[in-house]
Amino acid sequence: MLTWKRSALALWVAVAIATALAQEKEQGTLISEVDMYVSPDTTSQKLARATRGRNVILVMERTNMGGRSWSHVLVVVDVDLERQSERQISGWVPSSVVVTTATPNGDQIIYGEAVDSENQAQQRGGRRHADEDAMRLYYRLYEYFPSSPLAGEALWRAADIRWQREKADTRLRPSSREMDASMREGMDETTMKLVHKKFPHTKWADLASYDLIDNKLCGSWRGEAKCPEKESDMYEKYAREHPQSPKAAEALYNAAWRQAALVDMYKAAHENDKSEKARKKSMELAQEIAGHFAESDWRPQALELIYALQQGIPTYDVENKKPIS
């Protein structure tokens, strides 16, 4: 009994010391692309080029040299998610570009640099890999400033950038046209699920849930009704379960639009009852959007859909098996 108590006490002490050490460690990220040097001197040997948002897992020491402040840092420069490995390099960088947990307003500075990188990524001729910089910077903010008021938004943005990048890659693969979602490799859901776990019942969790629907959509409908049926249900369910989500109107519109496509599919298959049922459902959903989201762009889009349904303007090209865009 005494032995067990001693062991438990020793374990508790060890955990407490480790936690205290982790809390004392100065960690952060880089807000500018810099060269890492062997010693605190720009004439010394260059070790690597470290990009924005890289994980500075430890600031080991600081010194002044040649009238400027230098930091000796341990930086993660390469992460291989598949092999679950990473490469770390230690070297010297100018202290000015290292924003750590000890930097006043560090969360705001990292977030600001992330927004700047995101804007760069959206600009024609913007900085190369700026989207990756933004993704890393947003993630670092969440990682090192978890109680910042910006943490939820930052984690969501990091997850969304990763998601959109993977989505673009996935679309280039032949398997992206597989009708059944289980027949193709989807986007990695880890970071989205982290948003759910860390910030449940928030706007960001709602947005993450919306992105996750992408993994359940058919790659191609191939003219079969089961795809738009299933997708319409998923979008409607989302809108019902997340009525406060910024994506609720879009989800309802996606549900209504798929029902409109079903009208054309069933009509072509001479299943007139099903076609009429889909038309009614589409109208109901579109009217709900027009009523509930009067101040958004979704209202005119819903009214346009209603008009198309009333006039019998097709939404789906049955002959060529593709939506009429």
Q: What single DSSP character describes residue 31?
A: S
Please name the residue that has the structure tokens 């990220």.
Answer: 29
Of 116, 132, 188, 214, the residue at the interface with other proteins (CB under 8 A) is: 116
Contact indicator for 76, 8 with CB cutoff of 8 Å:
no
- Which parts of 124-143 interact with other proteins (CB under 8 A)? 124
| Rg of the chain taking only CA atoms, in angstroms | 26
The answer to whether 15 contacts other proteins (rule: CB under 8 A) is no
Contact indicator for 131, 138 with CB cutoff of 8 Å:
no
**CA dist., res. 308 & res. 317, Å (int):** 14
Q: What Cα–Cα distance (Å) separates residue 188 from each residue in 49, 81, 175?
A: 28, 10, 16
Q: What character string, x for contact with other proteins (CB under 8 A) and - otherwise, covers 143-162?
A: -------x------------
How many angstroms from the chain centroid is the CA of residue 69?
A: 36
The answer to whether 113 contacts other proteins (rule: CB under 8 A) is yes
**CA dist., res. 80 & res. 106, Å (int):** 27
The answer to whether 96 contacts other proteins (rule: CB under 8 A) is yes
**Shortest distance (Å) from residue 104 CB to other proteins:** 9
Of 58, 89, 97, 179, the residue at the interface with other proteins (CB under 8 A) is: 97
Nearest to other proteins of 192, 306 (CB atom): 306
**CA dist., res. 89 & res. 48, Å (int):** 8
The answer to whether 287 contacts other proteins (rule: CB under 8 A) is no
311 HSE (CA, 13 A, CB side): 9
Biggest alpha carbon–alpha carbon distance for the chain: 84
The answer to whether 311 contacts other proteins (rule: CB under 8 A) is yes
**CA dist., res. 183 & res. 237, Å (int):** 23
Of 6, 46, 171, 177, the residue at the interface with other proteins (CB under 8 A) is: 171
Determine the interface stretch with other proteins among 46-54, 178-186, 230-238, 298-306 (rule: CB under 8 A).
298-306
* Region for 129 from its dihedrals, namely left if φ exceeds 0, alpha if ψ lies in -120 to 50, beta otherwise: left
Of 102, 297, 321, 322, the residue at the interface with other proteins (CB under 8 A) is: 297
**Shortest distance (Å) from residue 298 CB to other proteins:** 8
Tokens of 162: 């990763």
The answer to whether 108 contacts other proteins (rule: CB under 8 A) is yes
Nearest to other proteins of 27, 196 (CB atom): 27
**Shortest distance (Å) from residue 49 CB to other proteins:** 12
Of 99, 121, 239, 249, the residue at the interface with other proteins (CB under 8 A) is: 99
- Which parts of 31-60 interact with other proteins (CB under 8 A)? 31-32, 42
**Shortest distance (Å) from residue 109 CB to other proteins:** 5
Binding residues for other proteins (CB under 8 A): 31-32, 42, 96-97, 99, 103, 105, 108-113, 115-116, 124, 150, 168, 171, 297, 299-305, 307-308, 311-313, 324-325
